[in-house]
């Protein structure tokens, strides 16, 4: 699905002041103000829960009950990654340096290169769902457009052909993929703070594997790693996929202003506070893409304001429940891979 061609002329005719008008409404409600108290509590409780999990991990010892703790740590790693995401967008502190410092720390805890992720995620925000420029829809084993599916060959063509069925199983590898991409970026010097990131990744790997194999016997340790890394990957993939997958894509031929580009390529997920917690605020993908530095705690308040503004300006505003979102994603994956199945 691509942005319709008629948007070219509409975008040119649209007032350039639309986003400025929306931004004024947002600032008037002080929705871009820092939320120091919220983040102080959020970070403290998250780190406290992680510390408690580490104590339980040691007390459980060499037991198959450690697989339950692996599930817990998968959730905790995702929650810490969400905080790293907030830091990367300068949501926590006022200055970029302070946010980067805590971002590096969160990246080190979960074993991800903060610098690598920042570069990748910044490109995504600049060009969401752009068929050539968005790294989040440039995934070797999957295709998100008919053009991408036609370019696949060999084993990758087979995975693309069956990508709807393979989507969730492939997410089991997402955690390992994040680790490996981080290691490659640091190894090749593709990050600014190379020495710091190398120390953090080595420290993470050493402490993680050391703790697992010191506390548990090899069979239990391997099972723990498989469950933990697999479920963490699924959690991360299931948190990020709803925001854009299955939404329109576009190319340089489509001229669309910032406001419409961000809104029309994004999708919100309905739900209460539990959805906010589970998805780390990514359920407000539209508001987040329009105002990346808006603290997570303010996104819920911004949502009705942005939705009403879009309705007034006749801009499609996509929002649905979580399960419906996954159905849209899987339907889109089936549709773009249909030509491959038709030729088999």
* DSSP secondary structure of 235-262: HHHHHHGGGTTTS-BB-TTS---HHHHH
CA–chain centroid gap for 226, Å, is: 21
Contact 259, 19 (CB under 8 A): yes
Two tokens at 332?
């889109």
Count of other CB atoms within 10 angstroms of residue 175: 27
CA nearest 177: which of 143, 142, 206, 216? 142
pTM for this structure?
A: 0.93
When pLDDT is cut at 50, 70 and 90, the band that residue 3 belongs to is low
Contact 132, 118 (CB under 8 A): no
Backbone angles phi, psi at 130, to 5 degrees: -75, 130
Residue 252's pLDDT is what?
A: 84
Q: For 115-169, what is each residue's pLDDT tens digit?
A: 999 999 999 999 999 999 999 999 999 999 999 998 888 999 999 999 999 999 9
Q: How far apart are the first and last CA of the chain?
A: 23
Residue 213's pLDDT is what?
A: 97
* Alpha-carbon torsion, ordered 154, 157, 163, 168, to 10 deg: 30
Two tokens at 42?
């959020």
- How many Cα atoms are found within 13 Å in the side-chain-facing hemisphere of 121? 18
Handedness of CA 172, 178, 181, 186 (dihedral sign): negative
Residue 1's pLDDT is what?
A: 61
Residue 341's pLDDT is what?
A: 84
**Residue 311, pLDDT above cutoff 90:** yes
Query: Rounded mean pLDDT of the chain?
Result: 94
């Amino acid at each position: 699905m691509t942005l319709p061609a008629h948007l070219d002329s509409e975008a040119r005719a649209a007032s350039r002041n639309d986003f400025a008008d929306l931004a004024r409404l947002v600032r008037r409600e002080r929705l871009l103000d820092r939320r120091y108290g919220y983040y102080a509590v959020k970070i403290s409780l998250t780190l406290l829960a992680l510390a408690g999990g580490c104590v339980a991990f040691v007390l459980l010892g060499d037991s198959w009950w450690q697989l339950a703790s692996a599930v817990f740590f998968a959730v905790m790693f995702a929650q810490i990654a969400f905080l790293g995401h907030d830091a990367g967008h300068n949501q926590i502190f006022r200055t970029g340096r302070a946010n980067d410092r805590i971002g590096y720390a969160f990246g080190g805890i979960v074993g991800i290169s903060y610098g690598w992720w920042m570069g990748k995620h910044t490109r995504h925000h600049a060009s969401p769902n752009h068929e050539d420029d968005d790294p989040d829809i440039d995934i070797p084993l999957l295709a998100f457009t008919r053009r991408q599916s036609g370019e696949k060959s060999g084993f990758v063509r087979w995975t693309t052909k069956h990508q709807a069925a393979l989507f969730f199983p492939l997410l089991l590898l997402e955690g390992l993929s994040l680790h490996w991409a981080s290691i490659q970026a640091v190894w090749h010097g593709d990050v600014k703070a190379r020495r710091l990131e190398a120390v953090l990744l080595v420290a993470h790997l050493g402490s993680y594997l050391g703790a697992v194999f010191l506390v548990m016997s090899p069979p239990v340790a391997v099972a723990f790693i498989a469950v933990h890394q697999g479920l963490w990957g699924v959690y991360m993939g299931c948190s990020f996929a709803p925001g854009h997958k299955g939404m329109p894509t576009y190319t340089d031929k489509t001229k669309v202003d910032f406001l419409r580009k961000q809104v029309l390529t994004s999708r919100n997920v309905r739900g209460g506070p539990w959805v906010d917690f589970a998805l780390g605020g990514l359920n407000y993908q539209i508001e987040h893409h329009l105002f990346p530095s808006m603290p997570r705690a303010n996104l819920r308040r911004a949502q009705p304001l942005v939705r009403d503004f879009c309705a007034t300006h006749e801009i499609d505003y996509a929002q649905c429940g979580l399960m419906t979102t996954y159905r849209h994603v899987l339907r889109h994956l089936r549709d773009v891979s249909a030509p491959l199945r038709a030729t088999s």
